Amino acid sequence: MAAVVLGALFLASCSSDLPQSSLNPQSVEAEQIDRLWDLVFWIGFGVFVVVEAALIYAIVRFRKRPGDEAEPKQVHGNTRLEIVWSIIPVVILAVIAVPTLTTLFDLRRPAEGDFLRVEVIGHQWWWEFRYPDILDGDGRPLTTANELHLPAGTTSELQMTSADVIHSFWVPSLAGKRDVVPGRFNYLKITPDPGTAGDMIKGQCAEYCGLAHADMRFRVFLDGESDFEAWSAEQLAASPVPTEGPEAAGYETFTALCTTCHQAKVETPEGTVDVIGAALGPDLTHFGSRTSIGAGIEDNTTEHLAEWIDNPASVKPMSPEMNDLAAGRIMGMPDYGLDDQQIAELVALLEMWK
Ligand code: CUA
């Protein structure tokens, strides 16, 4: 029974269909890490086999047999043997150290040539992504939240920092884990395989950062070149200010409440583009184009969105009572006690903003 339970636990880790696995590398960098893992694994496996074989041999060959009363010969030290079992590990560790250091230095080297710059800002408990080289007519960078788009086959360099506490950015299939620390910049290179175009890969915060740490997730979309260009053009555009229907009523509520923390770039029917609201929470300009809500925890459906606006804390643990707007600190979305109609209007507005 114990063997069955242990076997099941052991074999469960062999599943290849896991959403976040570094054993399923999809980028140049993740493949480098995976090769290093393979090398260390097989060397470790070889050592295990040799040591266990020697142990079993010694147990069987030198076991006490019936009628064996004499004490075995007592030995203290064997210089030749000790030199051999000191030198072998030194050689093995040297063999591991060379590719380990090469990989480490390689992954830390700044991106060269043609690469895309992305700024990653960790917040309690969501991710902000900015593209400093993709600007609108007024020089504002493309800004989005919780869903990162990267061109497949091209290197992107992520410049990462935090607005509050230490987080850690981790997409196991694309890159190693890297801390996201307030007051400093850490960098991470990702070169997704060209064949990943059209794929979505999940990631998540990997450093305990408070109440909703486990729900500080994100999705990485790997786009073909033309898809990435279409996506960035779409995201740079302003969203329309609705003039009629439930969307217009939703816009009233939006500007009365949501803009306390959320920002949106909007365009009036007359063609005036304006950025409204405060950039304390996720930018909502193209919220309707995102596939998830609440930092990647649920799919972006009408039902989930209504539930989220109605009672955010039921979807994700947060502490909005600790919000300090003057200090620019947001710890969660408050429940404004909106009625069903107001919620439906807000949902209509946000779904219109593709
Ligand atoms: Cu952010 Cu854990």
Quote the ligand 1 centre to 272 CA distance (angstroms): 38
Nearest to 160, CA basis, from 134, 130, 193, 126: 130
109 vs 103: CA distance, rounded Å? 10
CA distances, 20 to each of 205, 299, 321, 339 (Å): 12, 17, 33, 38
| Predicted pLDDT of residue 18 | 74
Atom of ligand 1 at shortest range from CA of 216: 1
Atom of ligand 1 at shortest range from CA of 214: 2
**Residues near ligand 1 (Cβ within 6 A):** 122, 125, 167, 205, 207-209, 213, 216
Q: 305 with 266, same domain?
A: yes
Atom of ligand 1 at shortest range from CA of 210: 2
Task: Single out the residue in 175, 202, 232 at which a domain terminates.
Answer: 232
Task: Single out the residue in 199, 232, 265 at which a domain terminates.
Answer: 232
Q: 194 with 115, same domain?
A: yes
Q: 223 with 265, same domain?
A: no
Quote the ligand 1 centre to 294 CA distance (angstroms): 14
| Predicted pLDDT of residue 248 | 95
Nearest to 129, CA basis, from 116, 142, 139: 142
Q: 36 with 185, same domain?
A: yes
Predicted confidence pLDDT, tens digits, the chain (354 residues): 999 999 988 887 777 667 788 888 999 999 999 999 999 999 999 999 999 999 999 999 988 888 888 888 888 889 999 999 999 999 999 999 999 999 999 999 999 889 999 999 999 999 999 999 999 989 999 999 999 999 999 999 999 999 999 999 999 999 999 999 999 999 999 999 999 999 999 999 999 999 999 999 999 999 999 999 999 999 999 999 999 999 999 999 999 999 999 999 999 999 999 999 999 999 999 999 999 999 999 999 999 999 999 999 999 999 999 999 888 888 999 999 999 999 999 999 999 999
Q: 33 with 163, same domain?
A: yes
Q: 246 with 179, same domain?
A: no
Atom of ligand 1 at shortest range from CA of 207: 2
The answer to whether position 61 is within a domain reads: no
Task: Single out the residue in 204, 232, 260 at which a domain terminates.
Answer: 232
Q: 225 with 140, same domain?
A: yes
- Report the largest interatomic distance among the alpha carbons of the chain, rounded to a whole angstrom: 105
| Predicted pLDDT of residue 16 | 67
As for how many domains the chain has, the answer is 2
The answer to whether position 65 is within a domain reads: no
Note if the bond before 37 is cis, omega within 30 degrees. no
Atom of ligand 1 at shortest range from CA of 209: 2
| Predicted pLDDT of residue 306 | 95
The closest residue, in CA terms, to atom 1 on ligand 1 is 167
Quote the ligand 1 centre to 322 CA distance (angstroms): 17
| Predicted pLDDT of residue 207 | 97
282: domain CATH number is 2.60.40.420
The answer to whether position 320 is within a domain reads: yes
Residues in CB range of 150: below 8 A, 6 or more apart: 116, 118, 156, 190, 192, 220, 221, 222, 223, 228
Quote the ligand 1 centre to 71 CA distance (angstroms): 61
178 vs 33: CA distance, rounded Å? 14
| Predicted pLDDT of residue 329 | 87
Quote the ligand 1 centre to 199 CA distance (angstroms): 24
Range of the domain at 266: 239-352
Instruction: Return phi, psi of residue 318, to 5°.
Output: -150, 165
Q: What dihedral angle (degrees, nearest 10) is formed by the CA atoms of 219, 223, 229, 230?
A: -80
| Predicted pLDDT of residue 69 | 82
Quote the ligand 1 centre to 115 CA distance (angstroms): 27
